[in-house]
Structure 1
Amino acid sequence: MNEYVMRPVRADEWEKVKDLRIAALKDPAAPVAFLETLAQAEARTDEFWQDRAKGASHGRHARQFVAEAPDGEWVGSVTLLVEEGGTSDFFERPIEQTQGHLVGVFVRAEQRGTGLTEALFSAALDWAWSLEGPALERVRLFVHEDNQRAGAFYRRFGFRASGQVVPMPGNSDSKELEYVFPRP
């Protein structure tokens, strides 16, 4: 695992951002792991992917981290969004404190269990805790109630269930569970 580099994406890497997202959406767990379908992602324009890479490469609002192999292949990714206190979240609920929100967690199947996911999370959390004005009080994520593999990883890493449960967008019969990691 030592040969892999965890780093933020660069604005000009939009094609790799797109390719890794498409790979993630082909994963068997995608229907309970992501709020986007393969067809939706494949229909997006190059401009969309360019804007996505640019927005996740710098600034305070979002940062996408990738696990890059020595040959340049991207084998995993996680994105941290900053939710400012006093705004509303994706579920249209008020955000009371400035916090991070981890989304888009994906590691290629052949790399799972190698420590890459932990390294990606560490990179994202290190960045989250480095932000100033205002500092992030916690980082959260949501996991589908049926995504047991992901839930187990999040708990092992140190996230704890907050007790908040929201309906999955587009399927109110399914639930998303909030997990939180407080600022150390």
Structure 2
Amino acid sequence: MSASTSSAYVVRAIRADEWEDVKRLRLVALRDPAAYIAFLESYEEALARPDSFYQERAAGSAEEAGAARQFIAEAADGTWVGSVTVLIEEAGSTDWAGFPVEQRQGHVVGVFVRPEHRGNGLLGALFDAGIGWARERGAERIRLLVHEENARAQAAYRKAGFVPSGVLVPFDKNAAETEVEFVLDR
């Protein structure tokens, strides 16, 4: 997987030996004010996970033939400032919420950009890397789920070419809340 470079960032897939950076960025993301509606775990839950969890996550994402890939944006000083993970969901299976998967698709999860790096096109570069990887693996459809009240994320996803599909999914933490499925419209 090649890396995409701009003057300020390098967007690339993570390597297996970068598990500590994966953990560090995840903990930063879970401190974001919208984390409670953006992620399916809390800061405390992520902090309590053993290092082996992050080691396995990084190793799995770095496997060339794996079903998931995490992409990060690295600033010129080496700081990881954003991340997108894409999961391949196979036709004929069911997704994490029990919905049938009708065609091979990429499911975008774990979207995060540090606040001081938002609004400059970085999210688009992360999406391009993840979507490109999914398409290379035969994904016919690209989707993501966003909490119904996360207007900031919905606006960013629309700007990147995603549109609501009409599918609503109960939010794992509270069945009274829902997530909206967005699909790539390009």
- Could you state the TM-score of these two structures normalised by the residue count of structure 1? 0.95
Structure 2: how far apart are the matches of 1:30 and 1:170? 13
Structure 2: how far apart are the matches of 1:120 and 1:157? 10
Deviation track 1:42-71 (CA, whole Å, cap 9, x = no partner) reads 000010000000111122300000000122
Tell me by how many angstroms 1:2 deviates. 2.4
RMSD: 1.0
Match of 1:163 in 2: 166
Tell me by how many angstroms 1:3 deviates. 2.4
Q: What is the aligned counterpart of 2:91 among 56, 78, 85?
A: 85
Structure 1: how far apart are the matches of 2:118 and 2:76? 17
Structure 1: how far apart are the matches of 2:91 and 2:7? 37
How many corresponding residue pairs?
A: 180
Letter in 2 for 1:178: E
Deviation track 1:64-89 (CA, whole Å, cap 9, x = no partner) reads 00000122110000000000111110
Deviation track 1:119-139 (CA, whole Å, cap 9, x = no partner) reads 1011111111112xxx21111
Task: Name stretches of at least 5 consecutive residues in structure 1 with no aligned partner.
Answer: none
Deviation track 1:113-165 (CA, whole Å, cap 9, x = no partner) reads 1111111011111111112xxx2111100000000010011111111110000
Structure 1: how far apart are the matches of 2:176 and 2:47? 27
Structure 2 counterpart SS, 1:136: coil
Letter in 2 for 1:57: A
Residue 67 of structure 2 is aligned to residue 61 of structure 1:
yes
Match of 1:102 in 2: 108
Q: What is the aligned counterpart of 1:141 among 128, 141, 144?
A: 144
Structure 1: how far apart are the matches of 2:106 and 2:132? 11
Q: What is the aligned counterpart of 2:177 among 174, 179, 183?
A: 174
Structure 2: how far apart are the matches of 1:173 and 1:159? 24
- Could you state the TM-score of these two structures normalised by the residue count of structure 2? 0.94
Structure 2: how far apart are the matches of 1:34 and 1:109? 16
Structure 1 counterpart SS, 2:87: strand
Structure 1 counterpart SS, 2:28: helix
Structure 2: how far apart are the matches of 1:16 and 1:60? 20
Structure 1: how far apart are the matches of 2:66 and 2:20? 22
Tell me by how many angstroms 1:33 deviates. 0.5
Structure 1 counterpart SS, 2:179: strand
Q: What is the aligned counterpart of 1:74 among 80, 100, 113?
A: 80
Task: Name stretches of at least 5 consecutive residues in structure 2 with no aligned partner.
Answer: 1-5
Report runs of 4+ in structure 1 exceeding 3 Å deviation: none
